[in-house]
Amino acid sequence: AEQKDRYNTTILPDGRPMKDLWDHPSYPFRIFKSHYAPPELPVRKKGGKKIKYMAMARNGIDVAASMTTFYSSHTDTFRNLWGGFPPNIE
């Protein structure tokens, strides 16, 4: 209920109510990015509307290449804050 109240009363920096932007007739859909699996998504069906899910995945070789670069970019100071994570991959 508290979130809905904020949704109905929040004014954007340009002076428009957020509700007017969110309920725009040109965009009759909403998109939520999440790492949840569908059974755990905090989304409820209302008014008989169907919810559609899109699942995306990356090529494993691309993931490994990206992860190696990402892990290597961290300093030892950062790693020490996280108990040695991420590992230093060279």
Contacts of 79 (CB under 8 A, 6+ apart): 85, 86, 88
- Res 2: pLDDT: 73
Q: How many CB atoms lie within 10 A of CB 17?
A: 14
pLDDT in tens, the chain (90 residues): 677 777 778 888 999 888 887 777 887 777 777 777 766 766 655 555 677 777 888 899 998 888 888 888 889 899 899 898 888 876
pTM for this entry: 0.39
